[in-house]
Amino acid sequence: MIPSEPFSFVNKYKMIIHYSEGKSKENFYDRNKVMQMAYKMLESGEVVCPICVGMLGLHGTYRRYLKDSEAKRHEGWIAQSHCAGCKKYHSLIPSFIKPNKQYEAEVIEEAIKAQEAGELKRSDCPANETTIRRWVREFREGGSVAVGWLQSIIYNIYNEHISVVETKKEGLMTQLERLTGRLLGNRVGSVIGRANIILTKYNHGFL
């Protein structure tokens, strides 16, 4: 069944995830570079308002803290945009960040994969067991909804129905990887990050 409303755990209308590996990840620590990158994306129309599809203007930045695979805490910057049409403010979140989480998206993704495969060792992830269980639970809840939205987006764009029956036994992550690959090709980065790029672009929330 295809969902009928946007989903997310909080702030469903205020996040836009954008592709940001490589150089852009390095720029996370430099406020001026973050602003320059955001300005170029907004000026070119690469990123538009997911609610009214209007052009966005750069509003400012705010600090964001993030932990890596060794639990080292990093301080960086997030750009915020404003839509003159619908008056909404949207944070431009780089795809290596999972909204509302302390750890990088890739760290969370690897922990979920290992936990579901029964291969997670305490040395593999710095987060505690309670946090990891919450990540897994939230992913199971949101992942199936995300699969439905991605199928719907592919159908609307390509008039193509992609069945996930053959990958269902392999789990949600495999399904998401296949569907995001159809829409984004072979971009690097986490599957969660790629899914969030697409979901926020079409105003369908985020994982």
Flag whether pLDDT at 151 surpasses 90.
yes
Flag whether pLDDT at 190 surpasses 70.
yes
Over residues 32-51, the pLDDT tens digits come to: 999 999 999 999 999 999 99
Weakest mean pLDDT among 5-14, 15-24, 184-193: 5-14
pLDDT at 81: 95
CB-based burial, 91-115: b 16+ in 10 Å, e otherwise = bbbbbbbbbebebbbbbbbbbbbeb
Over residues 70-116, the pLDDT tens digits come to: 999 999 999 999 999 999 999 999 999 999 999 999 999 999 998 88
pLDDT at 122: 66
Distance CA 104, CA 106 (A): 5
Q: Give residue limits of the domains in the chain.
A: 15-201
Q: Helix, strand, or coil here: 121? A: coil
pTM: 0.88
Q: Give the confidence band of 166 by pLDDT, cuts at 50, 70, 90.
A: confident
Flag whether pLDDT at 1 surpasses 60.
no
pLDDT at 22: 64
Burial class (CB in 10 A: 0-12, 13-18, 19+), 51: middle
